[in-house]
Chains A and B, each alone.
Chain A
Amino acid sequence: MLTETKKKMDWIEVGDIGDIPSLGARIVNTAQGNIAVFRNASDEIFAVLDRCPHKGGPLSQGIVHGRSVTCPLHNWVLGLDDGMAKAPDEGCVKTYPVKVEGNIIFLMI
């Protein structure tokens, strides 16, 4: 039987790069909430909590550009690599470590 007492972080396979459209995002449902997994034009993969620090907007639904996403609710722009809101807005969103082996994406959650 598994015990739920220890919650250690681990690399978890979430899917193939091809499952996410270029300049798009998909979400991973987890116990800690939805995590948005982004793919940019250079095929870099990023993972952040799917909650804009401003009013909780789903960042996975935003428009992706460079290494940023624009929140669909009020146009806050957040850095996907560092989770920081672009000035003059202030705030940050939790980011998650990502690795890609072959075309398979792993998140540390």
Chain B
Amino acid sequence: MKEKLVLIGNGMAGVRTLEELLKIDPDKYAVTVFGAEPYGNYNRILLSPVLAGEKTINDIMLNDEQWYTDNGITLHKGKQIVDIDRRGRKVFASDGTTADYDRLIIATGSNPFIIPVPGHDLPGVVSFRDIQDVDTMMAASKQFKNAVVIGGGLLGLEAANGLMQQGMDVTVVHLQATLMERQLDPEAGRMLQKSLEDRGMKFRMSANTEAILGNDKVCAVSFQDGSEIPADIVVMAVGIRPNIELAKKVGIYCERGIVVDDTMLTYDPRVYAVGECVQHRGQAYGLVAPLFEQARVCANHLAQLGYSRYLGSVTSTKLKVTGIDLFSAGDFVGDDTTENIIMKDAARGVYKKIVLKDNKIQGAVLYGDTVDGAWYFQLLRDYTDISDFRDHLMFGQSHLGDSGHGGQNAAAAMSDNMEVCGCNGVCKGDIVSAITKKGLFTLDEVRAHTKASSSCGSCTGLVEQILASTLGGDYSEAPAVKPMCKCTDYPHDEVIKSIKTKKLTSIRAVMDYMEWKTPDGCASCRPALNYYVIANWPSEAQDDPQSRFINERAHANIQKDGTYSVVPRMWGGLTNPKELRAIADVVDKFNIPEVKVTGGQRIDLFGVKKEQLPAVWADLNEAGMVSGHAYGKALRTVKTCVGSSWCRFGTQDSTGLGVKLEEMSWGSWMPHKFKMAVSGCPRNCAEATIKDFGVVCVDSGYELHVGGNGGIKVRATDLLCKVASEEEVLEYSAAFIQLYREQAHYLERTAPWLERVGLTYVKQHIVDDADYRKALAARFSESQKYVQKDPWAERAIDGAEAHEFKPLKQVI
């Protein structure tokens, strides 16, 4: 016989305890749940977005009835427990339902505190606690005009914002002089008030409510100073009280809440308590992260594992009002023994305050720019000594300089053990590994696999940033921060240095010299090493096809169904009838299912079988076409506009210059893909300012732009310099390409590379130092001698790598 477990309270803390228990010991108990509300378990902290019309009730359901059925849990909805027989171990519901228990969890949550002013029980006075309250408010907003919210704390402001979104005229009444005084210092409180006022919210600060007026329903609120404001609905949001009525009645020891020890056990050894009804070490919590921690501990003891302890929580706060960024944590007020670092930019609406004691963070308030909140919170909880970077502290983690990926964005700069989702305790590393290992591409997938951002949703932006920075290029993992990969302890720069100075010309030589930890590396380091040896020793190093990603080995792009796509080169985007006819003929002859024009002014043939590739290439070669390297970490396209030969605005021959650039640089292997463009006038139709190297022609010459990127994170180029002739364009671009080829990490696009080394560095080597520029260009030209052979012709005509395209045997 299974032991019987009864849960009183079908809310977030209680049900989370059951989920944690099911994870570690699903068969131990027969579980019965009693919930006073007539719903399944929903996400109470998302009631604000529901009120604001940003989400529906269905969006915030956490566990539907099917979940209870699937897990063999008996659910009694809408049945309130009114009594417990602790000696007989039985609970009684208001409708007479009873249940026996061996273990009991009390998770009755909290009740809103209603100020006992005259009129507080009039119809039209509501709290903001459950779905029913939200329904009442939404109904009122459709009928009436004036809403008064009593309480300028977190909950009150969220309610006020929601009612305003529903079209009501809202006044917030607050006893204190500034808003959210428990989470914000007066300065930030005033900025918050100002920005809410700008949205149309009204305030009565330092106001003492005297009475709520009305006969059969509310009509106004009056204050001690004798003034009155009209009100069709009054929301009381002045605080919550642990709901301990039941526990008290049956003699379980309570103070402000139900008192529990570090194992979440009450004074009755068969009864646990979790959530907002609990008092632990003198503290009651009303935020979700502590409740989930308590749930983990409680489940651990219910499963009789017995090693987990709850030690209390340091909490941080974010306001869930769309468009307002606000973060606070720890002791942000300070005293005589603390120091403050404060930054205020009222015009930009940014305020930051960090409270320090002995060079350790005690607390922080951020308003307007909360990107670094998670970082400060981490430093706070780890008691990190910040003296080394105290001068940069206020500017956030991306200004530290050693974050590896030079300020790409906040997410990229976070370390793997930093918490992203405070509700569910998910760290950046968990999310990144789920994305790369499980092939996740959407926010929803990340939520499903990791639970990150599935509770309050305030970290959604950060999770999206992590997705963007992790997915990066085509198939690849994000560039590694410290060691190249798990096969070595050396970072990219060390490896590159050794290859250069020790003249290591093969992957084997690098692995032997640098004492690789795996016999032959992995899918991450081998392609990098192959690139590094070829780029540094172009005449000596042997290319290793088995260390290339399949696209570069098969010289075509693998698609999800295992077929390939083929993109012939069209120099500067130019083509002609002969090429187009040849493409059309190839499509007909090989039954190629789809033909598409690419963003780089070329034509892509989709659905080619691997065995067909050499024959397809042979036909394209016949018409003079060669590989477009659309599959490679290599020069991709040089996009051009029509330029001075046709366009009435064109200042130079942009098309001709594009063809020359492409002829110079095609075939070169790069750390990552590399795109160029030439626009014939400042109208910039070729979009040269989001390319790795872009040329914008002007009447007096050519502007050279570097380090741009479209894609997941758009980055406009930086202006490198202006030159006067086409010859100079070619020399500068060759030098820039070579500097990037020699110095960037494998799979690092020019944009993050440029941000890492700085534009000044690049200018010094290419613009200021003519000798260095010429030497770079010469090295590029030298290495091009070894690679400007069409890989398609080598395979289609000369029969190279024939094994790649033929099955070993047919056994049919």
Q: List A residues at the B interface (Cβ < 8 Å).
A: 12, 14-15, 19-24, 26-31, 34, 37, 40-42, 54-58, 61-66, 70, 72-77, 88-89, 109
Contact = CB atoms under 8 A, between A and B. Distances in A.
Contacts of A20: 803, 808
B436 A75 contact: yes
Contacts of B437: 75-76, 88-89
Given A21-B545, A66-B519, A88-B433, A14 B809 contact: yes
Interface string B458-490: 000000000000000001010000000000000
Interface in B544-591: 545-547, 549-550, 553-554, 558, 560-562
27 contacts: A14-B811, A21-B545, A23-B546, A26-B803, A26-B807, A28-B807, A28-B808, A28-B811, A29-B807, A29-B809, A30-B812, A31-B811, A34-B807, A42-B519, A55-B560, A56-B561, A56-B562, A57-B562, A58-B558, A58-B562, A63-B546, A63-B550, A64-B546, A65-B523, A66-B518, A72-B558, A73-B560
Given A73-B560, A74-B439, A27 B808 contact: yes
Contacts of A73: 439, 475, 558, 560
A21 B546 contact: yes
Given A29-B812, A30-B811, A109-B811, A21 B803 contact: yes
A23 B522 CA distance: 11
Contacts of A12: 811
Top-10 shortest CB links A-B? A74-B439, A70-B523, A26-B808, A63-B523, A61-B550, A23-B546, A72-B550, A29-B810, A58-B562, A14-B809
Contacts of B553: 61
Contacts of B558: 58, 61, 72-73
Contact of A14 (B433, B439, B550, B808): B808
A63 B549 contact: yes
Contacts of A15: 808-809
A75 B547 CA distance: 14
B811 A65 contact: no
Contacts of A88: 433-434, 437-438
A72 B433 contact: no
Contacts of B773: none
B520 interface: yes
A109 B809 CA distance: 13
Given A63-B522, A109-B811, 14 more contacts: A30-B811, A56-B561, A57-B562, A61-B550, A61-B554, A62-B523, A65-B518, A66-B519, A73-B475, A75-B436, A75-B437, A75-B439, A75-B477, A89-B438
A37 B433 CA distance: 29
A28 B803 CA distance: 12
B497 to A, nearest CB: 24
Contact of B547 (A27, A31, A63, A109): A63
Nearest to B554: A61
A66 B518 CA distance: 8
B667 interface: no
A34 B811 CA distance: 10
A28 B810 contact: yes
A28 B809 CA distance: 5
Contacts of B518: 65-66
Contacts of B526: 63, 65
Contact of A54 (B439, B520, B807, B811): B439
Contacts of B550: 61-63, 72
B527 interface: yes
Contacts of A65: 518-523, 526
A27 B804 CA distance: 10
Centre residue among A20, A41, A61 by max chain B CB count within 10 A: A61
A68 B255 CA distance: 60
B549 A72 contact: yes
A37 B811 CA distance: 13
Contact of A70 (B439, B522, B803, B811): B522
Contacts of B561: 56
Contacts of B547: 23, 63
A55 B475 CA distance: 15
A74 B523 CA distance: 11
Contacts of B809: 14-15, 28-29
B803 to A, nearest CB: 6
A98 to B, nearest CB: 12
A24 to B, nearest CB: 5
A89 B436 CA distance: 10
A47 to B, nearest CB: 10
A83 B638 CA distance: 44
B475 to A, nearest CB: 7
A41 B519 contact: yes
A57 B439 CA distance: 12
A63 B521 CA distance: 10
B476 to A, nearest CB: 9
Interface in B515-534: 518-523, 526-527
Contacts of B546: 21-24, 63-64
Which residue among A12, A23, A77 has the maximum number of chain B CB atoms within 10 Å of its CB?
A23
Nearest to A34: B807
Contacts of A74: 438-439, 475
Interface string B769-812: 00000000000000000000000000000000001000111111
B8 to A, nearest CB: 36
Contacts of A72: 475, 549-550, 558
